């Protein structure tokens, strides 16, 4: 299992951009399916959150090897997706995620700081 990931999150759709948001969602899932088929990501899980009053209402958790995720994150295609998402979704964010042994490594570093 991959120890690294990306959390791609958002709050809500920008007013008047509903159609674009649906388009973007469909394109993003197709893009992630392609990356998975090509072996560039290990897995991805789309998540919609229930009402909770917070500023994160959904996210996709993408798992893979960090070097591959870095290449994806810096690719022209992913950067264009980010720009489109920022214009369509309030609170859009992409954050590095850590799992498994990576969490243990970070906690060891935390303990020494």
Task: Read off the pLDDT of residues 36-63 as tens digits, 9 standing for 90 and up.
Answer: 999 999 999 999 999 998 999 999 999 9
Domain boundaries, the chain: 4-112
pLDDT tens profile 67-100: 999 999 999 999 999 999 999 999 999 999 999 8
**Topology, domain 4-112:** Alpha-Beta Plaits (3.30.70)
pLDDT for res 1: 64
Model confidence at 15: pLDDT above 90: yes
Q: 96-105, long-range: CB within 8 Å, 24+ apart, which pairs?
A: 96/4, 96/5, 96/6, 96/7, 96/69, 97/4, 97/5, 97/6, 97/7, 97/61, 98/3, 98/4, 98/5, 99/1, 99/2, 99/3, 99/4, 99/5, 99/63, 100/1, 100/3, 101/3, 102/3, 102/4
Average pLDDT value for the chain: 95
* Confidence bin at 3 (pLDDT 50/70/90): confident
pTM listed for this prediction? 0.91
Indicate whether 2 pLDDT > 90. no
């Amino acid at each position: 299992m991959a120890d690294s990931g990306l959390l791609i999150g958002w709050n809500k759709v920008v007013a008047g951009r509903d159609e674009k948001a649906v388009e973007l969602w469909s394109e993003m899932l197709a893009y992630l399916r392609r990356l998975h088929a090509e072996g560039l990501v290990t897995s991805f899980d789309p998540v919609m959150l229930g009402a909770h009053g917070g500023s994160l209402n959904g996210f996709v958790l993408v798992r893979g090897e960090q070097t591959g995720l870095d290449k994806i994150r810096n690719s022209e295609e992913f950067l264009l997706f980010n720009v489109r998402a920022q214009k369509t979704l309030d609170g859009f964010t992409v954050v590095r995620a850590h799992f498994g042994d990576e969490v243990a490594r970070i906690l060891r570093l935390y303990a020494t700081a």
